[in-house]
Structure formats: structure tokens, C-alpha cells
Amino acid sequence: MGAAALSGPRGRVYGRGAMAEAATGAGAQAGAQVESGGRTWLVRHPTEWRQVGIVALYQALLWGMMFVPAWRSPLVLVPAFLLSFLNAVVIHNHLHRGIFHSHRLNMLWRGVLSFGALYPASANVPSHNLVHHHFGDDGQPDWADPEHVRFRWNLLNLIHFPNIAGPNTFAGVAKWAATTRQASFGRQYLAETIFAFGLTGGLLLYDFWPALAYVVLPQFYGARCILRINLIQHDGTDTSSEWNHSRNFVGRLFNWIMCNNGYHTIHHNRAGLHWSELAEAHRTEVAPRIDPSLDEPSMVGYLLRRYVLTLGRPARRDVAAAERSAAPTKLASRAARRQAAEQAAAVEQAARASRAGEQVAAG
Amino acid sequence: MDFTQFMAAFALAAFWLNTLLIAGAGWSECAGLRRRYAYMTEGTGARRGAVTGADGPEGALAEFTVTQVGRSNGRGPIVFHDRGHAARLLGGRVTLADGEAMALPAEAAVEVWISRRALQRAAAPRSGDAGHAEVLAAATRAAGWERRVATGLRVGDTIWLAGQVGAGLVLADADPRRWLARITGLTVLLVLGVFLAAGACTAACLWPPGFGLVSKLGAFAALVAFNLFQLLGKLHHDAIQPPSLRVLGGQWAGSGGRAAPGDGGEAG
């Protein structure tokens, strides 16, 4: 499995070679130019240093609190919680598009990220890239579908959501792993699991209470928040629509910190686009086609309004009306993109079989 | 209490909050299902009878199908996931145990409840199915291999009928009240189980001396239980779905190059 595992039809991961088919946007081409023209040292895109910095800072806080008693204070722990969530955001970005030139380094980086979140980062390949990106198109609900939670008090849905999405995800990943043709997935997944749980277990054995308070709690917080973001970004949207399936958070500072993960619609529609290109693509492609209620200026404001100041879950609206009255787009429909991805997978599969046949004949 | 101890107490509170949510969600889902199917235990309830006439092909009164997609890596089993469930009333007559005869019109809204075992039998590979190589080739494609597992209620079958035509009708091959009792039992087990386990973990956490060895073991047990409860919540949710929506899943194991019922329709 390539570092740049892409969203494709459920049940398949495409290798690095398939990136061109899935990433058809201009941004992807721009990203490719950075990679091939002015080759950056170590990372594939200069903006990746922001992601490396986020993870480095997060790890520094965890290890500092673990081994330097003077660091054990809310002033360090609260940023560690926030950085843990960003660590999970980096997992998301890295599993769409590997940060480093080196394949091996990308795999090792997954291990580092897995420790930060206490779950194997490679789980994102089936759970996010292959399943979530297609919502219910494959006939079964997304493992993180907002409809999985049904408390009348909406705040409870926000708190409870990871309790549903988490086990759904890991049961789904186990099932997917049994059928994937990517033989290396199982090894990588196991290695990340052993590293993340082994290191955390070692810290708990070394000094239990600090490890629990300053390592495990931040790890859990980040992992559960990244599951929660599925509810935040998709509850009340129309996941069967072309452009109104996601809620966006468009604040500039928020998106700088979040590596543009506030622009979720365009990320779904152009999964191969580098995160640094999302803001512009959102402005040109999404904004004219999206219901204004799905373009939120502030996530904090939205959370307060939707989950604290309102008790019940808002009634559903026809948010997709906005795209029906908008100008046509050059982007192929979801169904066409899915079909193209399946065809690309079939071609890749046939080529692989042909290469294997040639090797047998030659050997 | 220093800051580390405060955070440990915070963790225990978070553990209890999520335990309550998991138990509450399970209870609430079960209560919703019991309300939805309350007519099975009220009034005439669920009545036993036999299919005495059918308008469908091969004496079928009603059919129930699960559309599945099977995928494989070409080496291991073909693993199925459900793509959709559908029930259809084809029309016919039922004679109830008290002698009353009822006509059931075709295309009326109906839920068909087929027992897990009967569904698994229908899902197992048969001699008339496509050959393993052909199925395997299709299952290794990105789109997978789609199939329909079809079963139903036929002339001569004993059935249970609950509800009314046009106002929620269930036709089952087993007493549906047993399902209601089962989901209630499972829910009570879930709630009692998580509360007992959480209580035991908490007692250990608070065991004197505070933050001593027993306390550590209790906190570690709570960490494990925190994750285990989430899994139990999912298993409970899957287990209490009405038979018309129950997950069939399953897999076919390759054996000597031909299809073999790995577990036929092992419920996923």
C-alpha cells in the first residue's frame, strides 16, 4: 500500500500509481509540480513542515509532562489535548497523501502518529479513505454516519458519538483487512498497533498515574475528537448530494491551525487535492453550490449554538437545493467518479496480474 | 490532591459518563423497538397459523431478500457485507390456529421475519451456484460480487402473524414475541453488566490507600472496560435489530478450489 492511499471504491486501496486518476484537480497538478520541479528536502510539499511541527510539539509536551514533573500543569496539558486532536488531523492528511518523499519514512511516521492517537493510523485507509468518502453509496451506512446516534438531547449525541463510531470502525477494518489485496496492510497495521500500545503500556508500567493523566488521556481525547468531527461535519447535511454533503468551517486562523481541514466539501469531492490547495478550491467550486448554512465561520460558535444553546437536534432541511440552482460544474458526478475509480482499479489489477505472469514465465 | 490525582479523578468521571451513555443508548434503543412492536403483545398479539394459499411463484406467500456484496483478496475467504434488505408480500391466504381464514393482498406493506438459521441456510453456497473460480474472480474486483440471498414463507409453512394489513404487519417463521423477550433480556444484561463492571473498577480505583497498587489495577481495568463497553454497545445494537434488518454477513471459505460454506451465513 502506498503512502498515498487514496479514496476509491469500498474494499480497495490504490497505490501511489493511481493518484493521478483520483486527484484530477488543478491543485493536485500544482502539488505535483512542487514535487517534481523544485524538489523540497525530505517532505513532498513545503507546507508539510507545519504538520511535522504540530506533531513534534505534541510529542514534546507528552514526553515533557511524563518525565518533567514541573511540566504537569493545566498550562501544558490543555495545549496537549488540542495538539492531540491536531495529531489526528495530521493522520488524516498523511493517510491521504504521505508527507515524505521516502516511502519507508512515511510508514515510520505512521507509527509516530499512531502512538499520539493510541490507534493504528492505517485504520484511516479503509475507515476514512474508502468508506467515509463514499458515505452510503455502497449500500451500507458509513461507519461514522451521524444517524448512528439518536439522543433527543443533542449534546449527548456529540459526547456519545465516538462510542459508536469507534467500534464500528475497528470491526469494519478487521473485516476489510481480511479481503484487501494489499498484503502489506496487515503487517503495517500490526506494527503500528504494537508500537502504539507497546510504548503506552511501557509508560504505564514505568509510572502509572502520570502516564494515565498526561499521555493516555490526551491520546484518547484526540482519537475521540477526530471521530466526533464526522458528526460535526455531516449531521444535518445531505450526504447523498454532490456538493451539500458536508459542513465547512471557513475561518482563516482556524484553517491555518487545522491545515485547511475546515474545507470538507472540496476534500470529499477532490480527495487527491493537497490540503494547502483546499481554500482556493472551496472558494471557486464549493461556495457557489453550497447552502449558506453549511459554510460556518467558526467551529466554536457552531458547537456552542448547536450543542450547548440548543437542546434538541434541528430538523433536516433540503440543503441540496443550493446546488440544483447553481451553474453546472466540470467535476464528474459521484457515480461517475466512483465508476472511473473502479475501472482504474481493474486496470491496475490486470497490470499487476500481467507483471506477475511475466515474472513466472521469465523465472 | 495534586494535579495528577485530579486528572485521575477526571478520568474516572469520564469513564462513568460514557458508561451511562452506552447503557442509556442501549436501553433507549430497546425501549423504542418495544414501543414500535407493542402490538405484538397487546390485543390479538401475534397469532399462529399456516400458509394455505399463495399467489407467488412456487407457492410463495411472501419473500425476503438480502442483497450482499462479497469481496476477497483471491487467497482467503469471500467475505460478504449486506447492501440491503427487502420484503414483499406476494398475496395469499393464511388459516389461523383458531380456524379464522385471512386473505393477505399482494404488495401490502409487510415485514418478513425469517429466523437466523433459515437465513443462513439460504445464504450457504448450493450446487447450482456459479463455480468458485468464477465467483472468486468477481469478488476480487473493486466492485465485488453481488448476490441476492432469497427466502420466504410458502404454502404449508407455519407462520406467526402480528399487526394488521396497512397498519404494520409482521409475518414471521417463529413467534416474534420471543424476539421481544430476547432483546429485553439482552438489554438488561448490557445495562447490569456495564454497571456492575464499572462499579467493580471504581471500587478498586478508590481502594485505600488511594493511588496504591489496587487503585492502579482498578484504573487499568477501567481503561480496558472503557473500550470494552463500546464494543458491547455495538454488539448489543447489532443483536437487537429486528429480524427484517438483521445483519447476515457471512463468508465462503475457499477449499480445494471450490466453494465451501465457510460458515454459510455466519451472522456478522
Task: Give me the interface pTM, i.e. the ipTM.
Answer: 0.90
Structural domain boundaries enclosing A39: 16-352
Q: How many domains does chain A have?
A: 1
Instruction: Please check whether residue A360 lies inside any domain of the structure.
Output: no
Residue A37, pLDDT above cutoff 60: no
Q: How many domains does chain B have?
A: 1
Amino acid at position A299, single letter: M
Mean pLDDT score across all residues of chain A? 89
Contact A140 B76 (CB under 8 A): no
Rounded distance, CA A28 to CA A272, Å?
6
A213 touches chain B (CB under 8 A): yes
Q: Which of B43, B37, B79 is nearest to B172 (CA)?
A: B37
Residues 6+ apart with CB under 8 A from A330: none
Q: Which residues pair with B148 in a beta bridge?
A: B67
Rounded distance, CA A39 to CA A33, Å?
9
**Res. A350 pLDDT band, cuts 50 70 90:** confident
Mutate one of B1, B27, B71 to test the A interface: name it (highest A CB count within 10 A).
Answer: B71
How distant, in Å, are the alpha carbons of A129, A246, A283 from that of A265? 14, 5, 11
Give A189→chain B minimum CA distance, Å.
Answer: 17
B73 touches chain A (CB under 8 A): yes
Residue range A284-297: mean pLDDT, rounded = 97
The C-alpha cell that represents B94 in the structure block: 393464511
Residue range A34-46: mean pLDDT, rounded = 80
Instruction: Please check whether residue A359 lies inside any domain of the structure.
Output: no
- List the beta strands (DSSP E) in chain A: 248-249, 295-296
A139 touches chain B (CB under 8 A): yes
- Strand B145-154 and strand B158-163: the pairing is unpaired
Candidates B67, B81, B234; nearest CB to A167: B234
Contact A213 B230 (CB under 8 A): no
Q: Which residue has the higher pLDDT, A109 or A360?
A: A109
Q: Which of A278, A251, A272, A329 is nearest to A16 (CA)?
A: A272
Rounded distance, CA B224 to CA B201, Å?
10
Contact A163 B229 (CB under 8 A): yes
pLDDT, one tens digit per residue, over B15-34 is 999 999 999 999 999 999 99
- Residue A236 burial (10 A CB sphere; 0-12, 13-18, 19+): middle
Rounded distance, CA B80 to CA A280, Å?
41
Instruction: Please check whether residue A288 lies inside any domain of the structure.
Output: yes
Handedness of CA A211, A207, A193, A143 (dihedral sign): negative
Residue A33, pLDDT above cutoff 70: no
Residue A3, pLDDT above cutoff 70: no
CA A206 distance to own-chain centroid: 32
Residue A188, pLDDT above cutoff 50: yes
Instruction: Please check whether residue A210 lies inside any domain of the structure.
Output: yes
Instruction: Please check whether residue B223 lies inside any domain of the structure.
Output: no
Instruction: Please check whether residue B93 lies inside any domain of the structure.
Output: yes
Residue B63 belongs to what H/E stretch? strand B60-71
**Res. A14 pLDDT band, cuts 50 70 90:** very low
Contact A349 B141 (CB under 8 A): yes
Percent of chain B with pLDDT over 70: 93
Instruction: Please check whether residue A4 lies inside any domain of the structure.
Output: no
Q: Identify whether the C-beta of residue B46 lies closer than 8 Å to the C-beta of residue B172.
A: yes
Handedness of CA A303, A55, B18, B23 (dihedral sign): positive
Instruction: Please check whether residue B97 lies inside any domain of the structure.
Output: yes
Out of A5-19, B75-89, B144-158, least confident range: A5-19
CA atoms within 13 A on the CB side of A310: 15
Structural domain boundaries enclosing B49: 40-176
Instruction: Please check whether residue B149 lies inside any domain of the structure.
Output: yes
Task: Give the dihedral of Cα atoms B251, B253, B254, B255; nearest 10 deg.
Answer: -150
Rounded distance, CA B102 to CA B169, Å?
13
